[in-house]
Amino acid sequence: MKSFTKQFGPVTSVIGAQWGDEGKGKVVDLLAKEYDIIARACGGANAGHTIVVGDHKHVFHLLPSGCLHEGKQIVLGSGLVIHLPTLLEEIDLLQEHGIDIIDRLHISEEAHIVFDYHKDIDAALEIMRSKEKGQEIGTTKRGIGPAYMDKAQRVGIRMGSLDSDMRAELEQRAAFIKHAYNVTVHVDNELKQMQLSNNRIGKCIKNTAAFLHSSMENDQTIIIEGAQAVLLDIDHGTYPYVTSSSTTLAGALQGLGIPPRAVSSCIGVAKAYCTRVGSGLFPTEASEADATRLRDRGGEYGSTTGRPRRTGWLSLDDLSYVARINGFTHWNITKLDVLDEEHSIPFELQGEMQSMEGWTQKTAELREWKQLPKHAQKYIERIEKETNVPVAFIGTGQKREDMILR
Q: Which residues bind ligand IMO (CB under 6 A)?
A: 16, 19-21, 46-49, 137-140, 142, 144-145, 227-229, 232, 243-244, 277-278
- Residue 49 is among the residues annotated as catalytic for this protein: yes
**What does 137 bind: ligand GDP, ligand IMO, Mg ion, none (CB cut-off 5 to 8 Å by kind)?**
ligand IMO
Answer for which of 18, 24, 119, 140 binds ligand GDP (CB under 6 A) is: 24
Residue 184 CB: number of other CB atoms within 10 A?
A: 12
77 binds ligand GDP (CB under 6 A): no
Judged by CB under 6 A, the chain residues 34 through 63 that form the site for ligand GDP are 48-50, 52
Site residues for ligand GDP, 260-299, by CB under 6 A, read 299
| Residue 16 within binding range of ligand GDP, rule CB under 6 A | yes
CA dihedral of residues 173, 137, 18, 288 (deg, nearest 10)? 150
Return the number of the residue (64 or 146) whose C-beta is nearest ligand GDP: 64
Reference 123, options 286, 273, 259, 305; nearest CA is 305
| Amino acid symbol at 242 | V
Q: How far is the CB of 337 from ligand GDP (least distance, A)?
A: 5
Judged by CB under 5 A, does residue 303 bind Mg ion?
yes
**Before 64, cis peptide (omega within 30)?**
no
Closest contact distance (angstroms) between CB of 49 and ligand IMO is 6
Q: What is the smallest separation between the CB atom of 240 and ligand GDP, expressed in angstroms? A: 22
Non-local (6+) Cβ contacts of 201 within 8 A are 87, 88, 91, 102, 105, 107, 162
DSSP state of 287: P
Q: Write the CA distances from 174 to 39, 81, 82, 115, 188, integer angstroms.
A: 33, 19, 19, 12, 11
**Among 258, 286, 278, 298, CA closest to 397:** 298
**22 vs 342, beta carbon nearer Mg ion:** 22
The one of ligand GDP, Mg ion, ligand IMO, none whose footprint includes residue 335, by CB under 5 to 8 A per kind, is ligand GDP
Question: In this chain, which residue has its C-beta nearest to ligand GDP?
Answer: 395
β-bridge pairing 403-405 and 391-395: antiparallel
In the complex, the smallest distance separating the C-beta of residue 381 from ligand GDP, rounded to whole angstroms, is 18
The three-point CA angle 204-207-209 to 5° equals: 120
What is the rounded distance in angstroms from the CA atom of residue 46 to the CA atom of residue 235? 18
145 near ligand GDP, rule: CB under 6 A: no
Look up 21 and say whether it is catalytic.
yes
Q: Which residues bind Mg ion (CB under 5 A)?
A: 21, 48, 303
Q: Which residues bind ligand GDP (CB under 6 A)?
A: 16, 20-26, 48-50, 52, 299, 303, 334-335, 337-338, 395-398, 402
